[in-house]
Structure 1
Amino acid sequence: MSPRLSVVVPAFNNADFVDETVRSILDQSYDDFELIIADHASTDDTWQVLQRHAHDERVTLLRTPAGGGAAANWNRVTEAATGEYLRLVPGDDVLFPDTLAQHVAALDAHPSAAIASSPRSLVDASTKTIIGRRGPRWRSRLVPGAEAVRATVRAGTNVFGEPFCVTFRREPFLAAGGWDSSFPYLIDQASYCRALLQGDLAAVPELAGGFRLSSTQWSVALAAEQSRQARGYHAELRRTHPEVVSEADRRVGDLRVRLVAQTRRLAYIVLRRRMTAATTGPGGKS
């Protein structure tokens, strides 16, 4: 029989963190799951590190040829999944011990829900908490899909969290088109919204885990491109689903996208200083 849940990990150059990621999945309180991991032609020791878990009967290790960007590996692991539910965990984030059980219970309790979503904490390279909780506090445990889509547009940011914060119903997700890479920097948010246009959101208040901050998120150019793509995505939703996203929603969202980008730039400066201070000694040397 297929497992209830497929946890999939698209790994790429995660040698320093992927073992911790995998252990956080295998050590879950919930046990009816398969774990599928694909290494996307990493140039570090990611594949060698993954061999530590090759003996576990729950684990399937795959290799994805180079090219195609993140979407290629996300699709690779997703297509290999067999469970009723699907959860994607990047190869450097960590799950908290009960989050799989919480998401399965939420989706079981709410048949109309297309996804379950949790807030998360932000952690540094040593998994030390930088920000204790990030994510909205929804007014109810079941949020209509259209309301959730409208909320993320008006917020000007992804209110659902990074991929490890979300669990899908796998077959409806695939039937709706799977991962939406039309706006590459919004592949997770756009995919959540695609699912939510077909169903509701099961809001799980407990933290999903820790999202690991890294220097790759400290790019002003990257923030600017994310902002541009977010505005483009808002316009696309307004064009294709005017019954969900009004012109006022789009305008508010675009304004907040710019504010979020400015806030993010300031936050990157502060977090970089904090993380640099945490990894240097009294004399300023590591």
Structure 2
Amino acid sequence: MSPRLSVVVPAYNNAAVVAETIRSVLAQTFDDYELVVADHASQDGTWEVLQQFADDPRVRLLQTPAGGGAKANWDAVSQAATGELVKLVCGDDLLYPRMLEVQVAAFDRHPRAEVVASKRDIVDAAGKPLVRGRGLGRMRGEVDGAAALRATVRSGGNLLGEPMCVMLRRSTLEAVGWWDDRQPYYIDLGTYAHALVRGTLVAVPETLAGFRVSATQWSVRLTHEQSSQAAAFHARVRAEHPEVLSASDVARGDLMAKVAAWQRRAAYAWLGRRMQTAEARPA
């Protein structure tokens, strides 16, 4: 009998932290799930680290060949899922213990829901919170999917958060062609968009995950590329769903994406100083 939920982890060069990620899934209060982990030809010993979980009946370990970028591994591990619902968790992020229980219950209460999302903390390399309770904007409870997509575009960012914040129906993910990486930095939101126009979002205003960042993860160049890809994503949604977005929605979203890029630069500078200070402290 298939589990209700599949948690899927596309691991890539996560040897230092992937065991903590896996343990955060295995410590959930909800138990009707499988955990599928696919290592994408890592070069840092990730596959060897994963072997400590090989005997756990909840866990399946897979390997995917090199090449194809994130989409290749995200698609492969998602297609291996057998559950009705799917949650993708990157190999360095953390689920808090009630995440699965709360989000599955939200699907049970809202049969029209295509997407459930919750807030997350931003955590450092050691898992300590840097910023608490981020995400969702003003959205709470069941929200029309088109309205949620419009609000997200107008924000210039991703109100739903990274994949570990979100739960989807596997059938929907398959119907929309799996993960959409036409704008690679928007592989998550680009895919949520397809699901949102099919039904509703349930916004759970509870902090249920930790998104891990490091001082070397981003650069000024990346913030520029992200804002450029945001504009391309907005234009694509407008072209594919003109009933959802107006030209003024796109213009506002493009402007806010540029503002967000400047805010990220400041945040990364602060993060870099914080991490350097932490590393300089005596053990």
Could you tell me the TM-score, scaled by structure 2's length?
0.98
Aligned-pair CA distance for 1:18: 0.3
Aligned residues: 283
Contact 2:141–2:203 at 8 Å: present in 1 too? yes
Gaps of 5+ in 2: none
- 1:88 corresponds to: 88
Instruction: For 1:184 and 1:50, locate their aligned partners in 2 and report how far apart those are by CA, in whole Å.
Output: 27
The 1:168–1:276 alpha-carbon spacing in structure 2 relative to 1, beyond 3 Å, is same
**Aligned residue for 1:136?**
136
How many Å apart are 1:216 and its aligned residue?
4.4
Greater shift, 257-266 or 209-218, is seen at 209-218
Structure 2 partner of 1:114 = 114
- Cα distance between partner residues in 1 of 2:96 and 2:176: 29
The answer to whether the aligner puts 1:225 opposite 2:225 as a matched pair is yes
Aligned to 1:183: 183
**Native 8 Å contact 1:137 1:205 kept in 2:** no
Equivalent runs, 1:199-278 vs 2, <5 Å: 199-278=199-278
1:71 maps to what in 2? 71
Alignment partners' CA distance in 2, 1:278 and 1:209:
23
Q: Secondary structure at the match of 1:279?
A: helix
Cα displacement (A) at 1:137: 4.5
Contact 1:138 1:203 in 2 (8 A): no
What amino acid does structure 2 have at the position aligned with 1:259? V
Moved over 3 A (4+): 137-140
Deviation at 1:182, TM superposition (A): 1.0
Residue 218 of structure 1: how far off its partner (Å): 2.5
Structure 1: 5+ residue stretches without partners: none
Displacement after TM superposition at 1:138 (Å): 3.7
Amino acid at match of 2:104: V
Percentage of matched positions with identical amino acids: 54
Match of 2:167 in 1: 167
Q: What value does the CA root-mean-square deviation take over the aligned residues?
A: 1.1
The 10-residue stretch of structure 1 (84-93 or 272-281) with the greater mean CA deviation from structure 2:
272-281
Structure 2 counterpart of 1:14, which letter? Answer: N
Partner SS, residue 206 of structure 1: strand
Q: Which residue of 2 aligns with 1:148?
A: 148
